[in-house]
Amino acid sequence: MSASEEYVFVCPDCEESMEVNPSMRDALVANGCVVCGAPVSIDAFTRVESSADP
């Protein structure tokens, strides 16, 4: 469990893609895509391993 849990969100409808944290992910699932308004499920998110930045 890293403190900086990140996901990549790709909207199934408008194909907008953005990197999001857990609170953004929850907001998107609850409210739909912020860009186009389409419903969003948890499948629209892929966990990313944080890159090896210092």
Residues that bind Zn ion (CB under 5 A): 11, 13-14, 16, 33, 35-36, 38
Does 30 bind other proteins (CB under 8 A)? Our answer is yes
Neighbours of 31 (CB within 10 A): 11
Encoding tokens for residue 32? 């739909």
Distance (Å, whole) CA 38 – CA 18: 15
Does 5 bind other proteins (CB under 8 A)? Our answer is no
Q: Is the dihedral of CA 36, 16, 34, 39 positive or negative?
A: positive
26 binds, among Zn ion, other proteins, none (CB under 5 to 8 A by kind): other proteins
Which spans of this chain sit near other proteins (rule: CB under 8 A)?
13-16, 18, 23-24, 26-28, 30-32, 34-38
